[in-house]
Structure 1
Amino acid sequence: MKETVDQDWLEQSIIVLKGVGEKMLERFSKRSLFSLNDLLFHLPLRYQDKTRVISIASLRIGDSALVTGKLLSCKTHYARSAVLSCEIDDGSGVLSLRFFHFNKQQVVGLSRALEQGKWLKCFGEIKRGRQCLEIIHPEYRVIDQHQTIQLEESLSPIYPTTDGLSQLAIRNAVIPVIEQLKTQMANTKGDSITLVKDYLPPAIRQELQLPSLLEALIYLHAPPPDCAVFELVEGNDPYRQSLVFEELLAHQLSMKQAYQEQKQYHAPPFLLAASKNIARPYSEQFLQQLPFELTQAQSRVLADIASDVSDAHPMQRLIQGDVGSGKTVVAALSALYAIENGFQAALMAPTELLAAQHRDNFQQWLEPLGLNVAWLSGKSKVKQRREALESIADGSAQMIIGTHALFQEEVVFHDLAMVIIDEQHRFGVHQRLALLQKGLNKGLPKERHPHQLIMTATPIPRTLAMTAYAHLDCSIIDELPPGRTPVETVVLGEQRRDDILQRVHQACLKGRQAYWVCTLIEESEVLQCQAAEKTYEQLCLQLPDLAIGLVHGRMKGDEKKAVMASFKQGELALLVATTVIEVGVDVPNASLMIIENSERLGLSQLHQLRGRVGRGSQSSACVLMYGSPLSKNGKSRLMTLRETSDGFEVARKDLALRGPGEVLGTRQTGLAEMKIADVIRDQHLIPGINTLAQRLINDYPETVEPLIKRWIGHKVDYKNV
């Protein structure tokens, strides 16, 4: 380690640290830790307090604590493996220690080490035991009762890690960096500018009363024993909040920069239906053939889109709309704006069932206009695939619909100028980028980018949208088409299954149709499908006078299409399915939805499934069937669904329960991989940060790139997606 520090010191490779060789360097690289600076900004997730001994009488369930005590007993019993149970007493109370999964030889050695009468120092999480509090598999050491107990000088940080990279290895690497910074800070009388570059302007840091960057980093890596432990663990201390603020600011700057960069790109401006230069525009014909009027919300969103695509810069617009709000019609008109200007449009959906539903709708709408709709999926037959690829390449297919197959290398578009992505959170960032690049036309004097329209039926709370989608213009379809009826939501235990069967039977005998959705706690699609097949067989036996169909993800495309067509035409009364019907399925006569094991699904997914009914004029219901015992969390989720049909309220609660990465599918974009910020906990900061980001862009433009590089790094490559 160098004895002096200059501004480039932190840019050195971590291989300069004692104990870090080539193999260890490779392990650190798995966490994107390459330099000393990377280590400095690799911040702890939580802390262990080994700075003080807690009396057994003062212990609280759920805390992790350091205790000492005299061994009262140590017993072994055998179940599937050996279990060693000990009790220690510190004079204030008794604590149980339990060790599992040992063979006989290990137990003998442990029993000799833990003899009655010895004193132990133990650390671990306090749990409720059978007769007293307990720690399972504690860290422990035999100590001398009469010697001073060795304690840590600061809280022990717990870092994000990966296979092969231990907590000890990270701590041993971080400690000398922090110690060097402490020494240099003392020698330079607190002049931290020479140590860690602080890109936040001093005037703003002072205005917001934020601690210096160096002080915050040192404090978080090595919190003093007298710190406010609860605030630190909860992430509410001023030092952590200072860095949270800077990280959220960097993310916001990245999104705003991406938005501005998009405005610099060239895209083909579309002449719209109002233009006299287009004879019989397709969009106008399409509107005339619709059997209904657009809602005011749809018209408002279309006006936003029309304004975007008439510009010579690529549209980047997100459409939020609750289930059944009519996003697909808006997507069709957006595609027609491109087609009537001589370009191609492509729509990508995450599942074959949803993509096929879009294909059927677009064929029904566009083929009467003389337009060709091409279909491409991973399960397309060889001849169909070859024909689709040819029509896409020569331009005879104006509208192209498909799944992930659309961005495969062999797919070459003739002139793609409109990309529509449905349920974008189901796609990885690389997948969305791959499709966008299909629309890059580099043979022109100016590189031309396609317009991009993103649709989601997962409403996004405002503060989260300001963070996750700050690089997009957002429109909301906040109105359902007339004639849609509210869906009654009922929560029933599985012991009421016979009553539910009777309800399904009666509804179907009256000419209604119903869904029966099967879920499993396992992620395996195979097991999901097996569960659906078993339920299908049971229902066929229990309801022999009803025509029942089955659809799941492992069926061939033609089979699924045939079953869905039969259900849509009313030939089937009851459809048994996995969650493949979550989005895109539109059968107005279906008025009853049964969801088995509903407690195992997230709120947004349940809301999506519920949206498959209530699409006609008759009253509709959704029965959430749950297994016992129902957890407190599970009950809270189901009660939320019963009490509200507002998608934004559902999304807000889902976000609090599952986090942004699960709800938005952002694990690959960086939102859920922030080093220290938590979008849920810290959402109160976002409006102010949004304003400050624009202020930095306007008044301190030299700070923007360094802040983005520090906190986002390589992930900035995908900010335009």
Structure 2
Amino acid sequence: MSPPAALETIDITRLKGVGPRAAERLARLGLATLEDVLFHLPFRYEDRTRITPIGSLRPEQGVVIEGEVMAADVVFGKRRSLLCKVADGTGLVALRFYHFSAAQKNALEKGRRIRVYGEPRPGAAGLEFYHPEYQSGPDIPPLEKALTPVYPTTEGVSQKLLRNLAAQGLQWLQTHAPEELIPRQLLDQSGLPGLAQALTKLHHPQPDDPVDLLLDGNHPAVKRLVMEEMVAHQLGMLAKRAGQKALSAPVLSGEALTGKLLQALPFQLTGAQQRVIGEIRADLARQHPMLRLIQGDVGSGKTLVAAAAALVAIESGYQVALMAPTELLAEQHLANFRHWLAPLGIEVHWLAGSVGAKARRETLAALAEGRGALVVGTHALFQDAVVFHRLGLIIIDEQHRFGVQQRLALREKGRFGNQVPHQLTLTATPIPRTLAMSVYGDLDTSVIDEMPPGRKPIQTLALPTSRRDDVVARIRAACQEGTQAYWVCTLIEESDELQAQAAEATFETLQDALPELTVELVHGRMKAKEKAERMARFSSGEAQLLVATTVIEVGVDVPNATLMVMENAERLGLAQLHQLRGRVGRGGEQSYCLLLYQTPLSFTAKKRLAVMRDTSDGFVIAEEDLKLRGPGEWLGTRQTGDLAFRIADLVRDEALMAPAREVASALLAQYPDRVERLLRRWLRGGEHFADV
């Protein structure tokens, strides 16, 4: 007798009620097999197991009532509606239908028995049910014995169909137990239930089950699936790392150029910078590609660490490419690298969208012939026309702003057979620990957790817009004392044009209010050359006040600027507020950040502004930001493919991350034959982990 078929091999069309059209619609939900159906979990439950007396109804609580129709009349107000009154001896309630037929009205005859499910809300006739579900007549079926699940759905797929499929799936479970891909001994210490038990509980909870624990993810049945999903993600990370280890990379060494750079600096490196440079040098000296993420708060000196790494590659006879997400940030790197490397006789090339045809041809030729040892640029670096002679190191700033394929395209330009370049990633956006373990788990991480000596914490104040005149006076006083200031304009709309209009209006207002100051304006709609000229005037001190959109979030370094005003600060996330604030406090003087906000503030906005006032620690801010915004939004749309969690929540389930990592390592070592099936169950085969 052959063993029962595995659930992942049973096509969804074998279930009753699924024809070709339904299968096509269900595919939009990712449901193609019976296993997919069982892992498509409810996001809430309705209690249809008990009848609530009408006299006990509370607004906006889903309930079942049963009673007798007292009347059903068409009433005319702002809109024509059918109003049906139902009584049960404890009270009277109304059902209101704005869309109805004559047959429906006639069926709701006086004296007819009716059972209703819905949420009563205050209305013209007291508490009313608006378009509720109902059954009427002599043959009303018995009450449900279990809670009714409500599933995520899509157009053309009803809750009735999804509930029917889940019920069939639970029937199959009785004879086709799901494969326990995580061995029991690896789960025993956690005290979590088996997979079949967990799935049954989630699809078919009983009335006395703690629904609040099911919904907030703290029930053991939820934790069992969360653990397995996290293990699958960790296996994906380990597979990525193993794939990288299978590649080779050039062995890079050399200390002379780095030594000359450090000797020429007018300051000493911090201990953290020295430690991270040591970690990078050790990576570059190995035959396997370095994949290292450098985390460092704004102003901690990441760029200098990257320059030291670049010099090791150049001294070894290889080329270096540094890629940044915006021209403004890339130009800042270009200026720094030219300042540091020109005295060493190293030319730094520039490649971005604004580069003219002649300069572009010269740079492309220098890179292809090997004369160009180092190039700084934007997305232009991974275009087809760019060919490297011997690319040995890639430096990517703010990696999360690039898509996976964009990063791969640049790496492939340095591939020679099985050999690929080393990769160093920089971020001034401190990554919460849970996110780092789940999204960047394939990277080695270094943290520059020490600021250069002499830097003072930025003092942050939150003020309502009614204090705007006081803020303008504060800017006048600061600039008259010889320092400089930023005024940042924000809009809810993600439109360069609208942001530019808002910035231009603010620019004109501040010019009128501060005629004694030279005010410059920078926004995303400007041509690169004009933007650079205006930034240069501000950097040199010719202008005292810079009005800008959030285009200055990264890449602007003016040590003399000690005051920043952020208008409508309540519209920005914590990470962006922290990045912007980091534009001041880059010199030795005390700096200030004023957060102007519109009232009334939402709870989340109040929380954000309080965090900004209370701390300047980027890692604390990142953790709070993750709690407030969630991982998907924190990473941005480009990274959603890297974080396709279906059940797990990185904030809620943080405590399971480390155990999941241990289980994944044990599974890979002891049960390698189960890894692919686990990846297929949770990650659709793990295709986005294949090669990053």
Kindly tell me: are residues 431 and 112 of structure 1, through their superposed partners in 2, closer, same or farther at Cα, counting changes over 3 Å? farther
Equivalent residue, structure 1, for 2:229: 247
The match for 1:611 among 582, 603, 617 is 582
**Per-residue deviation, 1:487:** 0.6
The answer for the alignment partner of 1:575 in structure 2 is 546
Q: Secondary structure at the match of 1:419?
A: strand
Secondary structure of the 2:486 match is strand
After superposition, the C-alpha distances for 1:147-175 in whole angstroms (9 at most, x for unaligned) are 65654443333333445545444444443
How far apart, CA to CA, are the structure 1 residues paired with 2:287 and 2:251?
A: 5
Which residue does the alignment assign to 1:384? 359
Identify which of 26, 29, 52 aligns with 2:27.
29
Partner residue in 1 for 2:152: 160
- Give the unaligned 5+ runs of structure 2: none
Structure 1 position 61, deviation (Å): 6.2
Task: Pick from 117, 130, 139 the counterpart of residue 132 of structure 2.
Answer: 139
Answering whether residue 412 of structure 2 is matched by residue 437 of structure 1, we say yes
**Displacement after TM superposition at 1:62 (Å):** 6.2
User: 1:269-308, aligned counterparts within 5 Å?
Assistant: 269-273=251-255, 281-308=256-283
Q: 1:253 aligns to what SS in structure 2? A: helix
Answer whether contact 2:382 2:409 (CA < 8 A) is retained: yes
Q: Deviations over 1:164-201 (max 9, x none)?
A: 5454444444432332223x2xxxxxxxxx53211111
1:332 maps to which of 307, 310, 330 = 307
Counterpart mapping for 1:445-460 below 5 A: 447-460=418-431
Q: What is the aligned partner in structure 1 of residue 379 from structure 2?
A: 404
Structure 1 residues 198, 370: closer, same or farther in 2, change over 3 A? same
Structure 2 CA distance for aligned equivalents of residues 625 and 126 of structure 1:
41
Amino acid across the alignment from 1:703: R
2:466 maps to 1:495: yes
Which deviates further from its counterpart, 113-122 or 599-608?
Answer: 113-122
Question: Aligned-pair distance for 1:622?
Answer: 0.5
Report the counterpart of residue 712 of structure 1 in structure 2: 683
Contact 1:245 1:689 survives alignment (8 Å): yes
Q: Deviations over 1:231-263 (max 9, x none)?
A: 111111111111111111111122123223322
Instruction: Report the equivalent of 2:181.
Output: 199
> Are the counterparts in 1 of residues 6 and 179 from structure 2 also a CA contact under 8 Å?
no
Q: Deviations over 1:107-161 (max 9, x none)?
A: 99998888999876554456677996666x55333635x7656544433333334
The one-letter amino acid paired with 2:602 is S
- 2:531 aligned with 1:556: no
Q: Distance in 2 between matches of 1:126 and 1:424?
A: 50
Distance change (3 Å), C-alpha of 1:91 and 1:576: farther
* Contact persistence 1:529–1:553 (CA under 8 A): yes
Counterparts of 2:299 and 2:92, CA distance in 1: 60
User: Is 1:514–1:591's contact at 8 Å kept on the other side of the alignment?
Assistant: yes
2:5 aligned partner: 7
Contact 2:400 2:639 in 1 (8 A): no
Q: 1:511 to 1:95 in 2, by over 3 A?
A: farther
The separation in 2 between residues aligned to 1:65 and 1:597, in whole angstroms, is 42
Distance, in Å, in 2 between the alignment partners of 1:575 and 1:219 is 59
Contact 1:48-1:156 within 8 A present in 2 as well? yes
CA contact (8 A) 1:346 1:399 kept: yes
Cα 1:122–1:348 shift into 2, 3 Å:
farther
Taking a change above 3 Å as real, the CA distance of residues 158 and 427 of structure 1, as seen in their structure-2 partners, is: farther
The answer to whether the Cα contact below 8 Å between 1:63 and 1:125 also exists between their aligned partners in 2 is yes
| TM-score (ref. length: structure 1) | 0.88
CA distance in 1, matches of 2:334, 2:425: 17
Tell me, what secondary structure is at the counterpart of 1:624? Answer: strand
- Number of the residue aligned with 1:468: 439
Flag the 1:141–1:342 CA change in 2: closer, same or farther, 3 A.
Answer: same
CA distance in 2, matches of 1:391, 1:166: 61
**1:75-131 Cα distance to aligned partner (Å, 9 max, x none):** 5543xx7788888666656767777xx7xx879999888899987655445667799
Greater shift, 31-40 or 69-78, is seen at: 69-78
Shift of the alpha carbon at 1:700?
3.1
Distance, in Å, in 2 between the alignment partners of 1:393 and 1:287 is 30
- Give the conservation status (yes or no) of the 8 Å contact 1:464–1:683: no
Alpha-carbon distance, 1:287 to partner: 1.5
C-alpha contact 2:524 2:549 (8 A) present in aligned 1 = yes
Contact 1:88 1:94 in 2 (8 A): yes
**Secondary structure at 1:673 match in 2:** coil
- Cα distance between partner residues in 1 of 2:85 and 2:299: 61
Tell me, in whole angstroms, the C-alpha distance in 2 between the residues paired with 1:421 and 1:63.
52
Residue aligning to 1:217? 199
Instruction: Call closer, same or farther: CA 1:156–1:434 in 2, change over 3 Å.
Output: farther
Could you tell me how far apart the structure 1 residues matched to 2:491 and 2:220 are? 43
Which stretch shifts more, 338-347 or 40-49? 40-49
Give deviations 1:262-319, integer Å, cap 9, x for gaps.
Answer: 222201111131xxxxxxx322222122222110011111111111111000111111
Partner Cα separation in structure 1 for residue 223 and residue 311 of structure 2? 48
Instruction: Give 1:350 deviation, angstroms.
Output: 1.8
Contact 2:680 2:686 in 1 (8 A): no
The letter for the 2-side match of 1:629 is: P
SS at match of 2:338: helix
Distance in 1, matches of 2:142 and 2:87, equals 19
Q: Please report how far the alpha carbon of residue 225 of structure 1 lies from its aligned counterpart in structure 2 after TM superposition.
A: 3.5
Measure the CA separation in 1 of the matches of 2:550 and 2:95: 44
Give 1:604-643 correspondences, 5 Å limit.
Answer: 604-643=575-614
- Report the counterpart of residue 52 of structure 1 in structure 2: 50
Deviation per residue, 1:321-357 (Å, 9 max, x gap): 1111111111111122211111111122222221222
User: Of the candidates 485, 508, 518, which is equivalent to residue 537 of structure 1?
Assistant: 508
Q: For residue 458 of structure 1, give the secondary structure of its aligned residue in structure 2.
A: coil
Name whichever of 341-350 and 402-411 sits farther off. Answer: 402-411
Count of aligned pairs between the two proteins: 690
Q: Which of 228, 241, 246 is 1:264 aligned to?
A: 246
Residues 1:231 and 2:213 are matched in the alignment:
yes
RMSD over equivalenced CA pairs, Å: 3.1
State the Cα deviation string for residues 468-490 of structure 1 (Å, max 9, x = none): 22211111111111121111100
**Are the counterparts in 1 of residues 402 and 638 from structure 2 also a CA contact under 8 Å?**
no
Distance 2:640 2:207 in 1: 37
- Contact residue 82 and residue 100 of structure 2 kept, 8 A: no
Letter in 1 for 2:173: L
Amino acid in structure 1 at the alignment position of 2:169: V
* Residue 661 (structure 2) aligns with: 690
Give the drift of 1:571. 1.2
Displacement of 1:668 in angstroms is: 3.5
Alpha-carbon separation, structure 1, partners of 2:145 and 2:638 = 36
Q: Is the 8 A contact 2:487 2:547 kept in 1?
A: yes
* CA spacing shift, 1:486–1:178, aligned 2, 3 Å: same
Q: How far off is 1:378 after superposition?
A: 3.2
Matched, 1:597 2:568: yes
Worse-matched range after superposition: 598-607 or 253-262: 253-262
Structure 1: 5+ residue runs without aligned partners? 185-193, 274-280
User: Who is 2:169 aligned against?
Assistant: 177
Q: What's the CA shift for 1:409?
A: 2.7
Distance (whole Å) between structure 1 residues aligned to residue 645 and residue 101 of structure 2: 43
Alignment partners' CA distance in 1, 2:95 and 2:581 = 48
Name the aligned partner's letter for residue 26 of structure 2: F
Cα distance, 1:54–1:547 mapped onto 2, change above 3 Å: farther
Distance 1:440-1:131 versus aligned 2 partners, 3 A rule: farther
Q: Deviations over 1:558-616 (max 9, x none)?
A: 11111111111111111111111112211101111111111111111111111111111
CA contact (8 A) 1:350 1:404 kept: yes
Q: Which amino acid aligns with 1:20?
A: V
The whole-number CA distance in structure 2 between the counterparts of 1:552 and 1:110 is: 60
